[in-house]
Amino acid sequence: MVELHFSIYGGGIVENFLTKRRIAIKPNHHNIVYTPDFDGTAEFPTHQNLKFFEVHFDRKRFIDLTKDSSVLLRRFADKIMNNKSVEISQTDLPISLAMHSCLNDIMNCHFTGGLKLLFLQSKCMELLALQAQAFELEDKKTEKPKLKSAYDKDRIHYAREYLLKHANNPPSLTELSKLVGINEFKLKQGFKETFQNTVFGYLSDYKLMRAKELLADGGMDIKNIADELGYSSVQHFSNAFCKKFGVSPGKAR
């Protein structure tokens, strides 16, 4: 099977004795892997919560799907045909908000019967397309990375976690840079490099994706959703939602 792997939170180390490789699984990262044979260990800290999500494609089905697609996917499929363990990239990438939204749609699917199968298949294809696009963009990068140390990269991911935990009352850039321990310039540059968005552009997208989920859930009214996500007014929330999705919150519900 070809595996679309998403480590939503938590991580660890997987060691395959057959390929003599140790792979670090990092939280909020994804990759596409093919492992025809495995004999080894997986080590995960017992003090942390873990949440992984995987989609498995039959090897032949995956090769058929990707034969007329992107160069990177075709190159990956060629390696799979040789039946050797391989990842589409040796570097895992952060899970984008679009991927999180798609994963949430799958995990909270309300369809039943044949419609459920159709919905899940379409979402799995969407995930594959989103991953392929992310790895294509990464493959084309020619600029030197702005984040060079492991410490700086860790601080950027911590900044994201802190920002989302305090989404309804976020700190300023100056406050956030002090909280995570890097200067404001490096925070802005590193965040854009890692998540392809500005700090507050990412936060805005996250809040609107979350609003979309809450609207679909139906448990809260629009005013409470606006308050929950820290919008100054229902009008401000409605304007931002309409600009992002092309419909008002009421019509989206």
Give the dihedral of Cα atoms 203, 140, 74, 81; nearest 10 deg: -90
Would you tell me how many other CB atoms lie within 10 Å of the CB of residue 27? 19
Domain ranges of the chain: 2-140, 150-252
CA distance 4 to 33: 7
Q: How far apart are CA 25 and CA 12, in angstroms?
A: 5
pLDDT confidence of residue 69: 84
Position 155 scores a pLDDT of 92
Question: Which pLDDT value is given to residue 142?
Answer: 67
| 195-228 tens-digit pLDDT | 889 999 999 999 998 898 888 887 888 999 999 8
Cα–Cα distance for residue pair 222/210, rounded to 1 Å: 13
pLDDT the model gives residue 3? 95
Strands 51-57 and 21-25: unpaired
CATH number of 2-140: 2.60.120
pLDDT value at residue 48 = 83
Look at the domain 150-252 and name its fold. Arc Repressor Mutant, subunit A (1.10.10)
pLDDT on residue 23: 87
Residue ranges of the chain with per-residue pLDDT less than 50? none
Question: What pTM value is reported for the model?
Answer: 0.76
* Helical pair 199-217 and 173-180, crossing angle rounded to 10 deg: 100
